[in-house]
Amino acid sequence: MNKIIENDLLGILKKIDLEKLRNKTVLITGSNGLIGTYLVSLIYIANREKNLNIKVVGISKSQPNNTLAEFSSNRNFRFYTMNLIERTDIEENPDFIIHAACYAQPKKFLENGIETIKLNTEITEKLLRSIKKEGSFLFLSSSEIYGQPDAANIPTPETYNGNCSPLADRALYMESKRLGETICKIYKEDFGLDVKIARASSVYGPGISIHDPRVLGNFLNKAFTKKHIELMDRGEQERTWCYIADCTLMLYNLLLHGKDFVYNVGGTELISIRQIAELIGKLTDSKVTIPEEENKKEFIKGAPTKVQVDITKITQEFNLMNFTTFKQGLINTIEWNKKEVLI
């Protein structure tokens, strides 16, 4: 296992009680993704360090990535390579389900609109039907459901209903996540299931490669291949980025110990796209070029100008402090790429 990821996971293990998972089975959809990989890998470390005998079933459309492939021969881990739209049947009967499967990259969810909608709605409902009565279910929603909040609702609390248009370019993603949340609410209230919702915001870290077309991967690619990062606009959009280890800690806290139903999951530092480019430039000794005027190209149209979720609820409930700084998380991401991608 990559040492950066392993150190992240060992750090998480010191901060959370996973005893509820002892001898249980956890199903994680989207296991090959950034979040899914850390969710699965933490169980491997927990079994190794604390002998919890937790079993993991991972589902992804593609073969297990390099990190997960290391666990393939372990009897406690089983990976299914399948499209959830086509089938959801597995041999195992999980005690816990984390539904993290979905297209998160705008280009991909725009190209796979109906599949994205089904993953967030139809598949969510199928998975909820499969959970044991005494089990727990965590739905990975998104801060995208808030749309474009007004200034009075930034930072955005869980109580904000959102400012979204069902006809916007990105509506298929945000509206299907919203409907997925509604389905979760029905199963919680009508069937008494233990269901939690995590509205995750701008998660990053080792696993975001230079081949990822989103902003962080795109900038890293330009830095490593050209030593020159050229912004397509002024880079004034802002996000509170959440390091993957911090996100993983929050998600398992919600699944196992959460007292409420809906939680924002995010970081603490508000960082602009321009600041990301400049920091990557400094860390990789790359030139950064920023256009003089704003560029209103179609492919960036519709993205929120400022995303800052209010994480007061989750930080207070679980006494979370000492979040990974954006700079340190970025250093880890760069080093991971050097060791695992640029070889």
Domain parsing of the chain, residue ranges: 3-205+242-267+309-322
**How would you write 185-215 as a 3-class SS string?**
HHHHHHHCCEEEEEEECCEECCCCCCCCCCH
Does domain 3-205+242-267+309-322 match CATH 3.30.310.160?
no
| Separation of alpha carbons 97 and 117, rounded Å | 19
Structure confidence by residue, pLDDT tens digits, 275-308:
999 999 999 999 999 997 766 554 445 678 899 9
For 238-301, strand residue ranges (E) read: 238-240, 242-243, 262-265, 270-272, 287-289
Per DSSP, the three-state class of 265 is: strand
Contact yes or no for 64/32 (Cβ under 8 A): yes
Which pLDDT belongs to residue 110? 85
Which pLDDT belongs to residue 300? 46
| Separation of alpha carbons 158 and 42, rounded Å | 27
Average pLDDT over the chain, rounded to whole?
A: 94
Structure confidence by residue, pLDDT tens digits, 100-130:
999 877 888 888 899 999 999 999 999 999 9
| 16's tokens | 């959370």
Between 187 and 165, where is the model more confident? 187
DSSP string, 298-342: GGGTT--SEE-B--HHHHHHTT---PPPHHHHHHHHHHHHHHHT-
Which pLDDT belongs to residue 301? 54
Q: Is the pLDDT of residue 241 over 90?
A: yes
| 127's tokens | 């998975």
pTM: 0.95
- Identity of the residue numbered 256: L
